[in-house]
Amino acid sequence: MKDLNYIFIGNPNAQHLIIFLHEGLGSIEQWKHFPMQVCTENDCYGLVYDRSGYGKSPGNLLNRTTHYLHEAADELAGIIAEIQKEYKIILYGHSDGGSIALIHAALFPTHIKAIITEAAHVIVEEETISGVKAAQAPFLDGKFNGLKKYHGSRFTEVFLAWNTIWQTSAFATWSITDLLPKITCPQLIIQGDADEYGTIKQVELIESLTAGRSIRFIAKNCGHAPHKEMEKETLIHIKVFLNELN
């Protein structure tokens, strides 16, 4: 973890540590105040970090393969191994981060107390590919230039790494459904019903295939980021879910 950019937030003496896993174009700063809000309202400790190649963390995202989410789950395992104090760990993953949380919980089930996913993918849908393709024109028009604030000169690399891999023929058959039965911890599954990158089918697959107890929150008239678009409602569902863990 020493090579990655990270921050700890909240109460270090809390029982639970929530690790926040950002989206495919994300970083620490793009979470804004949300992780602190979650930790404060639920008396938790929090860890927010930039994955390798994102934000202020070293690394590059060139030559990304179809295994990149599994590689990120392995990176997360290394981070957890470095944490000195014994915490009950909860993963909160948005989009790519949600898929990483699921993969990690399947491969390292003894590490994790619970997971919260938001707009996670377990398969590639037509809506996913269409949404990714639709982002190309705005990028060329400069509408993603705001990413430079968070990723510096690598912002183009960050965008293309995300935008390219999801459109490859090799990734069209990507799926983590075979891993889902290995997940035994409780899950809160959050999904916007108007998400431009995925449908409720993602939620249904997680619910039906995982072994742990699943609770869903479908945010109405909401897109890909319920924690931004419906923050109040999202925080309420998180609080109820975390209270039931104690």
Which pLDDT value is given to residue 183? 97
The model's pLDDT over 45-95, given as tens digits with 9 standing for 90+, comes to 999 999 999 999 999 999 999 999 999 999 999 999 999 889 999 999 999
Residue 165: phi and psi, rounded to 5, are -60, -35
- Tell me what the mean pLDDT of segment 140-154 comes to: 96
Residue 219 has pLDDT above 80, yes or no: yes
Mean pLDDT throughout 27-40?
A: 98
Three-class SS of residue 24?
A: coil
Asked whether the predicted pLDDT for residue 1 surpasses 90, the reply is: no
What the chain holds in terms of domains, given with CATH numbers, is 6-243 (3.40.50.1820)
Which token pair is 224?
A: 């890909």
| pLDDT category of residue 111 using cuts at 50, 70 and 90 | confident
Is residue 246 pLDDT above 70, yes or no? no
What is residue 112's predicted lDDT score, i.e. its pLDDT?
96
User: What does the pLDDT read at residue 110?
Assistant: 86
User: What whole-number distance in Å separates Cα of residue 152 and Cα of residue 161?
Assistant: 15
Q: Mean pLDDT across the stretch 27-51?
A: 98
What average pLDDT does this structure show over 204-232? 97
When the pLDDT of each residue in the chain is averaged and rounded to a whole number, the result is: 96
Compute CA distances 30 → 50, 60, 111, 225, whole Å.
Answer: 10, 19, 26, 12
pTM over 0.85: yes
Are the C-beta atoms of residues 204 and 120 closer than 8 Å to each other?
A: no
pLDDT at 84: 80
pLDDT at 203: 98
